Chains A and B, each alone.
Chain A
Amino acid sequence: MLEYFDPNQVAPDQSFLKDRFSKDWFSKDYGTPASLSEKHIALEIDGVEIRVPEGTSVLRAAALADINIPKLCASDNLEAFGSCRLCAVQVEGKRGYPAACTTPVEDGMRVTTQNDRLARLRRNVMELYISDHPLDCLTCPANGDCELQDMAGAVGLREVRYGFEGDNHLDAEKDHSNPYFSFDPSKCIVCSRCVRACEEVQGTFALTIDGRGFESKVSAGQSEAFMDSECVSCGACVQACPTSTLMEKSVIEAGQPDHSVITTCAYCGVGCSFKAEMKGDQVVRMVPWKGGDANHGHSCVKGRFAFGYATHKDRLTTPMIRDSIDQPWREVGWEEAITFAAERLKAIQASYGRESIGGITSSRCTNEETYLVQKLVRAAFGNNNTDTCARVCHSPTGYGLKTTLGESAGTQTFDSVMKADAIIVIGANPTDAHPVFASLMRRRLRQGASLIVADPRHIDLLDTPHLADAQHLPLRPGTNVALVNALAHVVITEGLEDHDFIARRCDDQAYRDWREFIGEPRHSPEAVEATTGVPADAVRRAARTYANAPNGAIYYGLGVTEHSQGSTMVMGIANLAMATGNIGREGVGVNPLRGQNNVQGSCDMGSFPHELPGYQHVADDTVRQRFEQSWGVPIDNEPGLRIPNMFDAAIEGTFKALYVQGEDIAQSDPNTQHVEAALTSLECLIVQDIFLNETAKYAHVLLPGSSFLEKNGTFTNAERRINRVRKVMPPRAGKEDWEVTVDLANALGYPMHYRHPSEIMDEIAQLTPTFTGVSYARLDELGSLQWPCNAEHPDGTPTMHEIDFPIGRGHFAITEYVATEERTNRRFPLLLTTGRILSQYNVGAQTRRTHNQLWHDEDVLEIHPSDAELRGIKDGDWLGITSRSGHIVLRALVSERMQPGVVYTTFHHPSSGANVITTDSSDWATNCPEYKVTAVEVEMVSQPSAWQQRFDDFDRQQRQFLDAAREPVASDRAL
């Protein structure tokens, strides 16, 4: 996550490279970060003349000329530290032996990196290091990947004259508490790279060097075990360690990897690039790739460590079918399963009509797979009943941004945050849900940018170490629109708007209508204080901070979209950005933080029932004709059913079959009992997934899916960046997910003949105006591409709306605040809001099958001490939580992160049933569920809820059905 790793920014000192995006460039460590200066300095190193940007270190300048000075404490993702003294050089006309890492280049400088004196000096330094280091290199896990060993070789160390008898650290106690890495301080050379990585790269500041001199040692927290400390297990320290002091347990067990493949993480919407380091078809470790444009070599605990689910024993490996859900499964071959599914679908359409079936595309599968599922629905099913999980997360982003800015996507790159001066975060929790981006944001906050958080909870971002200016607007759940209107009211009434931007870029009539609306006194911070619960002066201060900053950027998450006015709030945010001119350049913008890895992509690929790929409406005859010509079938010109509409239609009896690829609607969608009723009403449910998820328990056909490690394709992250997913191992069940959809289409009589996902992308490029320049060849060449990528933007579009909007002029939308119908009363006096936690991902199907369970093995209910006291609740008590939809039981966690009157839980564990109590109230424009506001009552109880008891029984029965069908697992490759 370091600016100098951005290929565009690396440019000043890349004159040596023929290939701008060379893999080799990112494989080498240049010792210190790149300088971004435009001014170049000429110097001579060992007689070689070289020109580098001003501010470059001598160490880096030499490395750029392929003169590789020995080093230990330096790394090009960390600021120079100058502690190991191994990179000592001589500079003509200067005294002594300066460290090359801390010495900046000067014009005309003449540097000598190697002579007898320097060689002796380096050997002496190494000799001291090695005198207190175990000599067990042959059996050491770092053997083959140890910088200390490499440097001992490089400096020609041949003897250690001090002997090994003196005081040493060889008996230092190891710490194996973290499930993914070990800490062996006997191998530590106290270079501080781990400590600096924790501070500079991750921004957690969990590590320190404890003691002084000989007593110095790396310490997690206050000399705690890693697991007990503030460590978030991102692994930046492990990656930084030059020895085996901090070492992945997977490498300790398996040995060094022998080859690697660059691919894209399948967890959150950040879309980190990773080097999957392999032995045969086994992943030994995932190392974030510093050539990754989204993550620049950083990662979180999920992406780096939690990949064991891919080989977990629970993986489905054989297709299965059954006639009804109270029957055991029957294992069958692919052909039989596909034929069974196709015949059922055809029979259902024959009895109940063309519109009686539909499909749900996956936000976890690739663009190519998603594209094929919606194509299957539109072309082979002959209707538009396709939807995706974005329905329940970011559909309001699509609606809101398209209405105001003209395109359904965030406006910036992640790196843009490094130029922001004021950052507003609304309804998002980046340190948990988008951790790698949060690290970048924290870096900017440490540099002095102002932070404004609008959230009912005190999120961890507010506790960022070395934060300059943090403002928290702890609003009541459900009052977002009132708050954003108040912020805009301050901008307008205090004359803080950017008149020039508005005049040049925005629709005048819409602006004047909006200005009149927003200027009304009823929108003032004072007038809405009673509604939002946020003090008026805090709102005024926040509005001034944002509007007066040279660059103001807004980031938001599901706390914005998952409300009855989710779409209105997105438009309110866009209004605010346009009014202050914060659109169309780096450092500003409107940035939705997307939840799942490919939720942006699944929307782009035409998953929504009303839009063909590229957000092109099905009612547009010209658009539809292009698709009809390419696909060879007529396409319905009316929108199809959205997910909640499908559920309603199923219960009503008009919707009878559903094909679900890689989504778990039974766990993730609101009002679980309603969803269960809908799924039970179906005559044919086809589930394609890597595990028997909650939805699969209601299925008639179970098609085993492939993990991201088992297929080729692309994911599109929250910054519209298309990244390649590359196959590193064969699919466990023999087919990549796209191949299964192809088979199903063919069985239904609609021919599909793709040989490779690249051919699917070529078809997408041909039909989608914003993708015409995208191809696998271009992706391999450039590493990644941000759409729009077409003739106008051949290398993609990092920043949107620089000159104009796709709709011409920006449209200010009227954003009237309408209170949600979900209200507290005497029976339901508390507001429940739901969210996520760092170690678990979404429904948890993946992370629950890894050691990440150690951090969060059950969902709990966070409750404020005053609400807890009122009800006699203590930490760990069993609580019954009742809403208008249902009743569940969770354990209590008394926490001051909540405001009084608000309780919070996560939905990572199916048996918690968090969505049993969420309601089917939804966003007015998109039907995105109102997950973030549910009125509840909480009381102490002694047994699980009736739903949970039923869930346990049903779960047990369905697992038995699965176990009975499965042959004994040949090899146990579980964790």
Chain B
Amino acid sequence: MEHDQGAHLVRMVNQIATNLSHERDAATRVRVHLEKFWARSMKQRLIACLDDPGHKLTPLAHEAVKHLAGREAEKSHASSSAHQ
């Protein structure tokens, strides 16, 4: 089931990437879309897929998810340092 859920999210983000591929700054658009509309748990699961060398992310989706991962890491770093 775990794997299925990841594959499902990858399919969803690929679909988003395909539909936004003709926009300017497509990777940013995809990343912003995920930030605006996806739940925290879904984003985390999606980011975890980056560790799977067999993931089926399209190049654009991959770029967007990498951006997302960076931003999320920054956010959690900022909030953990705020707590210290």
Contacts and interface: CB of A to CB of B under 8 A. Distances in A.
A555 to B, nearest CB: 24
B22 A619 contact: no
A355 B38 CA distance: 14
Contacts of B19: 565, 567-568, 816, 818, 924-925
A816 B20 CA distance: 8
A609 B5 contact: no
B24 A513 contact: yes
A395 B66 CA distance: 27
A357 B62 CA distance: 30
Contact of A651 (B1, B22, B33, B41): B1
B39 A645 contact: yes
Interface stretch (A11-19, A204-212, A633-641, A940-948): A633-641
B42 interface: yes
A165 to B, nearest CB: 80
A638 B33 contact: no
Contacts of B22: 517, 814, 816
B17 to A, nearest CB: 9
Interface string A342-384: 0000000000000100000000000000000000000000001
A652 B37 contact: no
A564 B24 CA distance: 22
Contacts of B12: 924, 927
Contacts of B42: 641, 645
A701 B35 CA distance: 34
B55 interface: no
A610 interface: yes
A648 interface: yes
Contacts of A645: 39, 42
A617 interface: yes
Contacts of A924: 12, 15-16, 18-19
B1 A564 contact: no
Contacts of B83: none
A610 B36 contact: yes
A567 B20 CA distance: 12
Contact of A355 (B2, B23, B41): B41
A41 interface: no
A814 B16 contact: no
Contacts of A384: 39
Interface string A806-829: 000000011010100000000000
A923 to B, nearest CB: 9
Contacts of B8: 648
Contact of B38 (A568, A639, A653): A639
Given A638-B40, A641-B41, A649-B41, A925 B21 contact: no
Contacts of B15: 564, 818, 924
Interface string A904-932: 00000000000000000000111100000
Contacts of B35: 619
Contacts of A385: 39
A625 interface: no
A619 B21 contact: no
B69 to A, nearest CB: 15
A647 B42 CA distance: 13
B41 A639 contact: no
A654 interface: yes
Contacts of A638: 39-40
Nearest to B14: A924
B41 A654 contact: yes
Interface in B1-53: 1-2, 5, 8, 12, 15-16, 18-19, 21-24, 33, 35-42
A816 B21 contact: yes
Contacts of A654: 41
B18 A639 contact: no
A649 B6 CA distance: 11
Interface in A817-861: 818
Interface residues of A, number: 33
Contacts of A653: 1
Contact of B1 (A567, A641, A652, A818): A652
Nearest to B2: A652
A648 B21 contact: no
Nearest to A353: B41
Contact of B16 (A619, A642, A651, A925): A925
Interface string A621-659: 000000000000000001111100100110111100000
B44 to A, nearest CB: 10
A609 B5 CA distance: 20
Contacts of B24: 513
A927 B34 CA distance: 12
Nearest to A610: B37
Contacts of B1: 651-653
B21 A639 contact: no
A654 B38 CA distance: 16
Contacts of B5: 648, 652
Interface in A572-612: 609-610
Nearest to B5: A652
Interface string A651-669: 1111000000000000000
B18 A641 contact: no
A133 to B, nearest CB: 67
Contacts of B41: 355, 641, 649, 654
B36 A639 contact: yes
Contacts of B38: 639
Q: Which of A568, A610, A653, A924 has the most CB of B within 10 A?
A: A924
B37 A925 contact: yes
B40 A619 contact: no
Contacts of A649: 41
Nearest to B38: A639
B39 A640 contact: yes
A640 B42 CA distance: 9
A674 B26 CA distance: 33
A567 B15 CA distance: 12
Nearest to B23: A814
A513 B24 CA distance: 9
A925 B23 CA distance: 14
A640 B39 CA distance: 5
Contacts of A355: 39-41
Nearest to B39: A641
B39 A639 contact: yes
B58 to A, nearest CB: 12
A404 to B, nearest CB: 13
B52 to A, nearest CB: 17
A649 B39 CA distance: 11
A617 B36 contact: yes
Nearest to B19: A924
A572 to B, nearest CB: 12
B46 to A, nearest CB: 12
A352 to B, nearest CB: 12
A141 B30 CA distance: 66
Contacts of A813: 23
A926 B37 CA distance: 8
Nearest to A818: B18
Given A816-B22, A924-B12, 6 more contacts: A567-B19, A619-B35, A638-B40, A641-B39, A652-B1, A925-B37
19 contacts: A355-B41, A384-B39, A517-B22, A564-B15, A610-B37, A638-B39, A640-B39, A641-B39, A641-B42, A642-B39, A645-B42, A651-B1, A652-B2, A653-B1, A813-B23, A816-B18, A816-B19, A818-B19, A924-B16
The 8 closest A-B pairs by CB, nearest first: A924-B15, A638-B40, A924-B19, A814-B22, A641-B39, A816-B22, A924-B16, A652-B5
